[in-house]
Amino acid sequence: MRKVGVVGAGAFGTALAISVASQNNNVILWGRSQAQMKEIKYLNENSRFLPNIKFPNELIPTSDLDALALCEVVLLAIPTQSLREFLEIHKTKLENLPLVACCKGAELETGDFPTEIIQRYLPRNNIMVLTGPGFAHELAQGKPTAMTLGSTVPTTADFQKILSSNTLRLYQSNDLIGLQIGGAVKNVIAIACGIAMGAGLGESARAALMTRGFAEMIRFAKVRGGNQNTLMGLSGFGDLSLTCSSKKSRNYSYGYALSQGDLIKYSDTVEGSETSHVIAKFGNDFDIEMPITQMVSKVIKQEISSAQAMEHLLARPLREDES
């Protein structure tokens, strides 16, 4: 039996913990709220994020970070915008532990991706990233899911085996930046698709946004240092397809609500919201053509309306169909 830690008791962190524990691994699920973790332990489920999905016996909820000390690997499933603060407070308790970034997006203030943030605080740790198309509730229910584990060290295959299950298939990649570009940009494009569908523009408009959004992802990767081929796989095209096509996607749902003017009750973490500003600024600074990303950022900042954004995109000069 292997021992695995998961930091973050939200939907995705809990789903990962359930998946890994289902393979008879001893899993420690950490959450910062003592009251929340006591409730989760008592109910044997995370009723807030994944109701009616019971935990395997091997899954132990806790609010004590010291419980992770003997873990063979720790998954960091906390929002990207909160990652730096968490590491500033708790980095000494994570020293020398193999870490897997399971969050997507780029930090608003610095533009750093999750692995780059971790590297600044724990440069000697083995740092990996887990990304790709996967809804938390489906993963927790044991529905077939395929994702990618990124790492630059030879021991990746061992962690790949530990984290895989009968229903979660993990592939390997050594392109950490490319993997994280896919996970970041696809959320922005998903917001755009949500805006379009909320405005009643139809499936053809969504297909156009996905396709041209994918071209933006590739342009961004060429400058930011990612491998274009990586984006053709699960972390890029795969994740884009899932996130832009379902109301189960938080980013898509956020965009839909944005176009409806109904954000008052929207409280879920939406990584693409902050990420849109980061990617848009980078695009401006390095003269990368990213019109969809630019429009999403402006709509979120309330600089233009959803209708104005779509009008602007449709009014762009005609051109050849290329990246």
Catalytic positions are 186
Rounded CA separation 230/218 (Å): 10
Rounded CA separation 270/19 (Å): 23
Rounded CA separation 295/303 (Å): 9
Share in percent of the chain as helix, strand, coil (round to 5): 50, 10, 35
- Alpha helix segments (H runs only) across the chain: 11-21, 34-43, 80-90, 114-121, 136-140, 156-163, 176-198, 203-224, 228-231, 239-243, 250-260, 271-285, 291-300, 306-314
Question: Are the beta carbons of 98 and 128 closer than 8 angstroms?
Answer: yes
Place of tokens 């980013």: 251
Place of tokens 């830690």: 5
**What is the Cβ-side half-sphere exposure of residue 212, based on CA atoms within 13 angstroms?**
20
CA distances from 234 to 68, 135, 182, 259, 314 (A): 30, 13, 9, 28, 29
Question: Are the beta carbons of 72 and 96 closer than 8 angstroms?
Answer: no
Question: Are the beta carbons of 198 and 257 closer than 8 angstroms?
Answer: yes
Beta-sheet pairing, 3-7 with 26-30: parallel
Sign for the CA dihedral angle at 106, 243, 240, 244 comes to negative
